[in-house]
Amino acid sequence: MAEPRRVLFVCLGNIIRSPLGARLFEHKAAEAGLAEKYAVDSAGTGDWHVGEPPDERMVRTAARRGFHYTDRARQVKAADLDSFDLIIAMDPQNKLNLETLAQNAAQRAKIRLMREFDPQAGGDMSVPDPWYAGPNGFNDAYDIIERSVEKLLAELEAGRVTPA
């Protein structure tokens, strides 16, 4: 068995967008019988919520759709850029912060945007941060994240995502 592909999802606080991205990707991979092929985690560029579980507004949004998950927030660290094969940023600001943390071109080449994989992105490259939005923000972010992780998994399986 080949080593699992290591995929890290990154947002700002690591309590709303990236924990959902990681756990939903993991869930979709498991449903497809691909659990062994992927090792998934998430992290935040900020440290305000380290140690906290996912935001309960997104947990409730997911539960209404039948998806249940939990996690524990942590801050991204420079070593993540070596130990993960692919790093998925939720918005361009997260990507910029990761690129600042990167120390070489190989690390930078691993960093991609979530919405590159959203078939309905239409040029909008952010998974909008629901922290500043109303209830619809959580539904919208969930939909974007679900579409994007499904496509990301399909693209990885098709060999069309080729990080370092």
Q: Of 5-13, 30-38, 74-82, 118-126, which part binds ligand 4NP (CB under 6 A)?
A: 5-13
Cβ-closest position to ligand 4NP = 13
The torsion angle over the Cα atoms of residues 128, 117, 122 and 81, rounded to 10 degrees, is 50
- Say whether 108 is catalytic: no
- What is the spatial distance between Cα 135 and Cα 6, in angstroms, rounded to a whole number? 32
Q: Which is nearer to ligand 4NP, 85 or 129 (CB)?
A: 129
Q: Of 14-22, 31-39, 102-110, 155-163, which part binds ligand 4NP (CB under 6 A)?
A: 14-22
CB 17 within 8 A of CB 141: yes
Angle value at C-alpha 85, between 83 and 86, nearest 5 degrees: 120
The interface mask with ligand 4NP, positions 42-81, x = CB under 6 A, is: --x---xx--------------------------------
CB 145 within 8 A of CB 114: yes
CB 126 within 8 A of CB 118: no
Q: Is 17 in the site for ligand 4NP (CB under 6 A)?
A: yes
Q: Of 12-20, 63-71, 80-88, 102-110, which part binds ligand 4NP (CB under 6 A)?
A: 12-20
Known catalytic residues are: 11, 17, 129
